[in-house]
Amino acid sequence: MSVNVVWCRPEWARFAGADWLDHIMTVHTPDRFHAKQGRSIGRWTLTDPDGRSLVVYLKRHYELPRRHALGARFFPRRSWSPGLQEFDHLRWAEQQGLPVPRVWAMAEFRGPRLQSCLAVEELAGMLPLHEAIPLAFDRLAPAAFDAWKAGLIDEMACLTRELHRRRRFHNDLYLCHFYVSEADTITQPDGWRDRVMMIDFHRLQHRRLGWTWGVLKDVAQLLYSANVPGITPDDLRRFWDAYRGGDWGDMAPPPAWLLRPIRWKAARYQRHHDRKETRKLIPAVAPPHP
């Protein structure tokens, strides 16, 4: 297997070893490991010679379509693997001032098979919002929680708008892809700026045309995922008003009427989820004996 595209931070080799490319696709990462459909993600704890620790999430893609391997051969300047694509998206987001995790290493292996890997630093001490919001709901007094939630919603609206006014769309904009510090679930921060992180940019899409569909999909995903303790129907209205009311630069804000199809699409996501869960509960029926 030949290596065609590689990037890493200067300190990476001290943690992963000078020969990290030789074993990165086979290294064992059992902590919080998940694998399906030719890809995996696992938490990897590394230690350098001075005893310093680094914890990353290692994303690997082992089985990519053959047409992508051919594309990498004939159009090598393009990003063909999920690892390189997400790397490009995270670097772009970082350049725009958006709060995203630090990338430590990336490799796209080009050959008869196309494979890739991406190592992203763990957000230590932070929780996804679908866990953090119920936690704050339990920990804070009602008035304090309402103020906490209002500031958080305004910051989420700001981050989402910063993406969309550049005509970039996340395509996985669920609560679980926003992170805050667990320490911020026990008190009201002075401000939420730079306290909310966004993750999983592998599906980030640039839409020059048809950007209204991108808005609809992202906000509907966020609404669908907001079925957690502490979130009320009024919170979507607050998000929508804050999102539309900010600075859109030379771009007009999404039309107000879009909120109705957003609600419809969120409900459709919910129905699809409910059907999947129902199928899981239906027991398999053994065929009758002949």
Write out pLDDT tens, residues 204-239.
999 888 889 999 999 999 999 999 999 999 999 999
Q: Cα separation of 13 and 31, whole Å?
A: 21
Q: Cα separation of 173 and 236, whole Å?
A: 14
Provide the token pair at 221.
């995903």
First to last CA, the chain: 52
Query: What is the residue extent of each domain of the chain?
Result: 2-121, 126-276
For residue 1, the model assigns a pLDDT of 46
Provide the token pair at 235.
């919170």
The top-level CATH class assigned to 2-121 is alpha beta
For residue 282, the model assigns a pLDDT of 66
Amino acid at 39: R
pTM > 0.85: yes
Per-residue pLDDT tens over the stretch 141-197: 999 999 999 999 999 999 999 999 999 999 999 999 999 999 999 998 999 999 999
Per-residue pLDDT tens over the stretch 245-268: 989 988 899 999 999 999 999 999
Query: Whose structure tokens read 């704050």?
Result: 136
Reported confidence tier of residue 288, pLDDT bands at 50, 70, 90:
low
273-280 contacts: CB < 8 A, separation 24 or more?
A: 273/224
Q: Cα separation of 237 and 234, whole Å?
A: 5
Q: At what angle do helices 233-245 and 211-225 cross, to 10 degrees?
A: 150
Q: Cα separation of 202 and 78, whole Å?
A: 15
Average pLDDT of the chain is 92
Reported confidence tier of residue 278, pLDDT bands at 50, 70, 90:
confident
SS3 107: strand
Q: Cα separation of 133 and 131, whole Å?
A: 6
**Average of pLDDT values for 27-39?**
93
Contact 147, 192 (CB under 8 A): no
Q: Cα separation of 149 and 242, whole Å?
A: 13
Nearest of 220, 97, 262 to residue 163 by alpha carbon:
97
CATH topology of domain 126-276: Transferase(Phosphotransferase); domain 1 (1.10.510)
Q: Cα separation of 194 and 126, whole Å?
A: 13
**Average of pLDDT values for 132-145?**
97
**Half-sphere exposure of residue 129: CA atoms within 13 angstroms, side-chain side:** 25
Contact 173, 156 (CB under 8 A): no
Cα torsion 145, 147, 153, 156: sign: negative
